[in-house]
Structure 1
Amino acid sequence: MRRLLLALGLGLAAVAWIVRDIPAALGGKARGDRAARVQRSPQFRDGAFHNRAHTAQIVPEAGRDMVRELMFGGQRRTPAGPVPLVSPAAPTDDGLFLTWYGHGTTLVEIDGARVLFDPVWSERVSPSRLVGPRRLHPMPQPLSEVPDVDAVVISHDHYDHLDLATVRALVETRTAPFVVPLGVGAHLERWQVPAERIIELDWEESTEIAGVRLTATAAQHFSGRAFTRDDTLWASWVVAGPSRRVFYTGDSGYFDGYAEIGALHGPFDASLVQVGAYAPGWPDIHMTPEEGVAAHVDLDGGLLIPVHWATFKLAMHGWSEPAERVWAESKARDVALAIPRPGERIDVDNPPQVDPWWQTLA
């Protein structure tokens, strides 16, 4: 009887959690003034946001190819041992430093300001804590120990970039505003983020915080957390201080907009470039490592820091393949490159030589 009651209690707790948290994780829908602003965007037409060029999100052969790779591919999709972590160094008020926590989550210290990109501290990137892609390595630092930041910037609303639990923790423990693409504020509003802490921008719109200018720029991707697609905007980001500049691609396919962004907002001291989670079945929405290097060159991007790899299994390629390929392409194109371990703080003015730490785990 005791076991039956325990099982019943656990089942009821699971049902209560599903009823409470999963609908909230799906986010909100823009209404009122927010919806009106969405509809005025040059990127919005026929009820959805659009890329500047036509993009095929998934080609018809993608499912078949993924099954074949899963069954017969020889890739090691998980590391052979623990991913080496670095305890992040204490911040300073001068210089330019980038601390990569894993996937897209990166702290940028620039001209005395601190900007946190796409913070995700949850174990899974999913509306559920029970299923969905799980971390391949722990976060190198608890969120409670991350230094205070001046702004939290979100690239788009996919679960691996916009995380409900992390947003709730930041609302409770920090005062920084959330700077997001158009429409994403509806999710934050549902999650009890105060209206005065939500700043929504269209492409080529800016806001100034702590002496640095944050500008939303074009990307080639898509959005959606539930059953509808593209009702919120996706973006790349420029962080421009009085003397230094950093670019973050967010998630994007390779497109000619990078040269335009570089001409308008560059050159950059460093760029954080998505190089992982690519596949032949979706060539337009995620870059390969070689395309990531090409985007960096188009941007006049300074020091290249590859992101969006090593943390979650989101594609069929090998776990370490993005690092190996971006390293080779950067050498071929004479591009300055740093590939940090999760938690490693990179001094952009004195970057370390590339140490192929991932090779022992391949």
Structure 2
Amino acid sequence: MSTPLRVTRIGHACQLIEIGDIRVLTDPWFTQTAHYYHGEPISSTVQSLGHIDAVVVSHEHYDHCDLDALVDGGFDLEVPLIGPGTVAKIALDKGFRDVRAIEAWESAGVGDLTVTATPGQHGVHEVTFLIQHGGRTVFFGGDSLRVPELDTIPERFGHIDLAILPTNGLCVRPLHMRQVVMDAEQAAGLTAVLAPTMAVPHHYAFHSGQLGDRTITSGDQDPRHYADAVARLAPEVDVRLVLPGITVTVP
């Protein structure tokens, strides 16, 4: 019998991944500031998270690395926090006491859990992650662009049970519409290569406010574009569009 695998979308790229009795929090974001709006309800507070075995953080942007919210919410700073060196420095400065810095293709273990950094590309240094425990494998895409190295994951690691991918194709207007996040079509192409049992899109509801959306960022807020693209490119993959607070069980 397979180890139970569940994922609960808290909001944006903040996910609670449960593999058996191991609980992993990804890219925490619990607050809001000018130009950073969730665009959807947040389904949990820091205080209501319950026990967490590890936190993984893909990069230092506030909407993925809201460590102040964890500290202010009384989060246990002894919980291992795993991320690239840029994130590790911030975490240590915030008082986290078990910080594991890993870069692409490096791994960190927390008990029987293994977290492997995989390549990523964004506006700042970023890694993506493979999260493995009990014979289950989850790919977490943060808000990376699609980079060629990600296509080698199945060959390196075997079957992927769950892929969690960004889909909004975020572009930065002041940088001549520079794209910094994979879009729905690119995410679907990666999904076809990864061939997971299930795929969940995230990082699409975010917006920069009325002024910011006109002057700073541009992105696709409709995850159905990803679902439609996967239906064309990888119809065997079960795509779930998950509202915050909804828990999905992966077969």
2:242 matches 1:340 = yes
- Aligned-pair distance for 1:102? 1.2
* 2:108 aligned residue: 207
Larger Rg over CA atoms? 1
* 1:1-362 aligned within 5 A: 95-124=4-33, 131-169=34-72, 172-173=75-76, 175-194=78-97, 197-223=98-124, 233-279=125-171, 281-283=177-179, 285-313=180-208, 315-317=217-219, 319=221, 321=222, 323-333=223-233, 334=235, 335-349=237-251
Paired residues of 1:157 and 1:184 also in contact (CA < 8 A): yes
Measure, in 1, the Cα distance between the counterparts of 2:181 and 2:19. 27
1:92-124 residue CA offsets vs partner (Å, 9 max, x unmatched):
xx5100111111000110132111000110123
SS in 2 for 1:100: strand
Measure, in 2, the Cα distance between the counterparts of 1:200 and 1:171. 23
SS in 2 for 1:167: helix
Instruction: Using the TM superposition, name which of 240-249 and 158-167 deviates more.
Output: 158-167
- Aligned-pair distance for 1:249? 1.1
Question: Normalising by structure 1, what TM-score?
Answer: 0.61
Measure, in 2, the Cα distance between the counterparts of 1:169 and 1:215. 28
- Aligned-pair distance for 1:266? 3.0
Amino acid across the alignment from 1:216: A
Paired residues of 1:101 and 1:343 also in contact (CA < 8 A): yes
What runs of 5+ residues in structure 2 fail to find an aligned partner? Answer: none
Measure, in 2, the Cα distance between the counterparts of 1:308 and 1:238. 18
Q: 1:147 to 1:311 in 2, by over 3 A?
A: farther
Amino acid across the alignment from 1:144: Q
SS in 2 for 1:97: strand
Measure, in 1, the Cα distance between the counterparts of 2:195 and 2:47. 35
Q: 1:155 to 1:170 in 2, by over 3 A?
A: farther
SS in 1 for 2:152: helix
Q: 1:282 to 1:267 in 2, by over 3 A?
A: farther
Paired residues of 1:96 and 1:109 also in contact (CA < 8 A): yes
SS in 2 for 1:310: coil
Question: Normalising by structure 2, what TM-score?
Answer: 0.86
How many percent of aligned residue pairs carry the same amino acid?
23
**Residue-pair matches, total:** 236
Alpha-carbon RMSD:
2.0
Q: Which has the higher strand share?
A: 2
- Aligned-pair distance for 1:296? 1.4
Q: Moved runs in structure 1, 4+ residues, more than 6 A? A: none
Q: Which has the higher helix share?
A: 1
- Aligned-pair distance for 1:139? 1.3
What runs of 5+ residues in structure 1 fail to find an aligned partner? Answer: 1-93, 125-130, 224-232, 350-362
